Structure 1
Amino acid sequence: MEARLPSFSGLTAFYAAVRHGTLTGAARELNVSQPAVSRRIAQLEADLGTHLFDRSRKPVQMTEAGREMMAALRTSFETIEVATDRIRRAAKGRVVTVSGPSGFVAFWLIPRLGALQEAFPGTVIRIISMEQGEAGRPGDVAIRFGAPNPARPDEIKILGEEVFAAASPLYLSRNTAPSTVDDFAGHTLLTMEGTRRFWHDWPSWFEARGAKMPGDVRSLDFNTYAMLVNALLAGQGIGLCWSGLLDTFLEAGALVQLSDQSAASERGYFLSLRDDLTARSEVRSVLDWIAAAGGADALT
């Protein structure tokens, strides 16, 4: 038996009422009267055969059925909003969205945005930044960090994972630069313990050098790489740098690589098209530009 969908006007009235918390707010958004919103919700409840709001309590709260319906509507309307945005942008044909991990966006992409805009003067470049491991909407051009994906042979690797220790001249003016593994004892290490499963961290870096991390090091922990880099530049400790990611700071002398020993893996930053072969020509051109800037061959 085919399921019959309820009235769309009832669903929108219920969704708006929950989001605004009042019928007045919902009525204002939908450009109807408050009684009209109330009637639409009542008709929706009658159609479903159950109450979506518990009106015996003050303030009014959703019932279990109401919470279930709201969860479904939230997902559905967000999907519609994303699709609408994509269709409108595609119709204009002048906006290209690029998404990627926050560290890559902050320290690799943003320094190159001027050159990217010059290469595409009539195109608006929109940037979406996400924390590593965070679910988010991929851009027209999507950058991810991780291991190679055999199911995505179209991805382009633009940066590998080669990690080395670095510190600022300010930190080194106050502390003796460590030259061996044992010399790290007593130093402050900047960490991102919450994301260890995604990339190299201090324990794995020491392990790659055939040693264990000294037990008497101090640590400062951060939840974003951008915060860690700011602390690194401010002389708060020693941090791990990804080759190719913080080169501008190293070249300017704002950071100093402490040794030529590094830890590496097969992971890296991978570039791909969200819409694959159906992507607009200017989206494909932006991907090719980023690939070339990363020293990789163009995909298209």
Structure 2
Amino acid sequence: MSRLRLPPLSALRAFEVAARRASFKAAAEELLVTPTAISHQIKHLEAYLGFRVLDRTPRAVTLTAKGRALYEVTASGFGEIEGVVTRLRADTAPTTITLSSTTAFLSHWLVPRMDELRQIVPMVDLRLHTSNVVEDLRPGGIETAIRYGHGPFPGVASVCLCPDVLTPVCSPRLGISRLDDLRQATLIHIDGRSRPTPNPNWSRWCAQAGIADVDTDAGLRFPDSMLAMQAAIAGQGVVIVSRVLAVDALAANLLETPFSQTLTGDAYHFACAFGLEQRADIAALRDWFQRSFNLT
């Protein structure tokens, strides 16, 4: 047994709004059409039904008796549909996750990969928090972080993403290729670096590389890796930085590694507040970081 055809949905919607607002003009404003379009939809509905649903006067729009019966079911039906759609959209909307890390890591590694992150992990709306100190992680606050150190870290759940090495880098424009060139080069120092320990400074690197007669205290000084790398890209000198932070600049030939000698660093870790490690959105974010670091 076939079901009776319903009136056109667009006509029913126009009728419901016009009846609720008691005005073709107000209905037109809500539906972003013209009052004439609302009038045509009501006429179409009445022709389909074979009876009037609205009485129109210059001052008001009122329901007929049959129109009132129809309005009760359309208003209820559209209300239920709106409620279900709102709930379903909320179920599939991206969840907001706040991730904290250093300015250098966020600017040099993560920000260039944000488009890829949004495409692969669309259920996550990632908010970035920059801090050069270790932030407490908690549900509803800063929930995740990229931390640099030995790990594991107290009070959080963490996984190691990759070990790190620190290497001298400089602009190819400087033409540095031999250890002897370092004696005439400007050394760039990072004074605000607290990890790894011992400090990966020029004194340690030169001792390991077996090069003497270099004034390892002279040169330019910056408070963090981000500024120091920008100075190196600009051709202002040679700096020892994390290879992870420099990977994109190296690939783009903005920087090069003129020497093979490196210093051992710590490791990068994905950390989250305890109890959140199994949450689907945070697990997806963690998996993306693991895959991306494997390609670094």
TM-score calculated relative to the size of structure 1: 0.58
Q: CA distance change for structure 1 residues 184 and 147 in 2, over 3 Å: closer, same or farther?
A: same
In the TM superposition, residue 188 of structure 1 has moved relative to its aligned partner by: 0.7
In the TM superposition, residue 258 of structure 1 has moved relative to its aligned partner by: 0.3
Paired AA for residue 264 in structure 2: A
| 1:14-46 deviation digits (Å, cap 9, x = unpaired) | xxxxxxxxxxxxxxxxxxxxxxxxxxxxxxxxx
The separation in 2 between residues aligned to 1:238 and 1:286, in whole angstroms, is 34
Paired AA for residue 106 in structure 2: V
1:245 lines up with 2:245 in the alignment: yes
Q: CA distance change for structure 1 residues 274 and 260 in 2, over 3 Å: closer, same or farther?
A: same
Check whether the contact 2:94–2:125 (CA below 8 A) recurs between aligned residues.
no
| 1:130-186 deviation digits (Å, cap 9, x = unpaired) | 12xx243543221111123376895222232211111112333xxxx1512x44223
Paired AA for residue 239 in structure 2: G
Paired AA for residue 127 in structure 2: R
| Structure 2 counterpart of 1:97 | 98
In the TM superposition, residue 98 of structure 1 has moved relative to its aligned partner by: 1.4
Q: Secondary structure at the match of 1:124?
A: strand
Paired AA for residue 291 in structure 2: A
| Counterparts of residues 261-280 of structure 1 (less than 5 Å) | 261-265=261-265, 267-277=266-276, 280=279
Paired AA for residue 184 in structure 2: G
In the TM superposition, residue 292 of structure 1 has moved relative to its aligned partner by: 1.7
1:291 lines up with 2:290 in the alignment: yes
| Structure 2 counterpart of 1:118 | 119
The separation in 1 between residues aligned to 2:288 and 2:277, in whole angstroms, is 18
Paired AA for residue 116 in structure 2: A
Check whether the contact 1:159–1:244 (CA below 8 A) recurs between aligned residues.
no
Q: CA distance change for structure 1 residues 125 and 204 in 2, over 3 Å: closer, same or farther?
A: same
Unmatched segments (≥5 aa) in structure 2: 1-92
The separation in 1 between residues aligned to 2:227 and 2:104, in whole angstroms, is 9
The separation in 1 between residues aligned to 2:117 and 2:182, in whole angstroms, is 40
Check whether the contact 2:172–2:254 (CA below 8 A) recurs between aligned residues.
yes
How many pairs align? 198
Q: Secondary structure at the match of 1:103?
A: helix
Paired AA for residue 189 in structure 1: L
In the TM superposition, residue 194 of structure 1 has moved relative to its aligned partner by: 3.2
Q: CA distance change for structure 1 residues 150 and 112 in 2, over 3 Å: closer, same or farther?
A: closer
1:165 lines up with 2:163 in the alignment: no
Q: CA distance change for structure 1 residues 213 and 144 in 2, over 3 Å: closer, same or farther?
A: farther
Check whether the contact 1:98–1:140 (CA below 8 A) recurs between aligned residues.
yes
Unmatched segments (≥5 aa) in structure 1: 1-91
Check whether the contact 1:116–1:289 (CA below 8 A) recurs between aligned residues.
yes
Q: CA distance change for structure 1 residues 96 and 120 in 2, over 3 Å: closer, same or farther?
A: same
The separation in 2 between residues aligned to 1:123 and 1:272, in whole angstroms, is 16
Check whether the contact 2:187–2:218 (CA below 8 A) recurs between aligned residues.
yes
Query: Percent identity between the aligned chains?
Result: 21
| Counterparts of residues 196-275 of structure 1 (less than 5 Å) | 198=196, 199-211=199-211, 214-215=214-215, 218-265=218-265, 267-275=266-274
Q: Secondary structure at the match of 1:245?
A: helix
Check whether the contact 2:99–2:129 (CA below 8 A) recurs between aligned residues.
yes
| Counterparts of residues 1-20 of structure 1 (less than 5 Å) | none
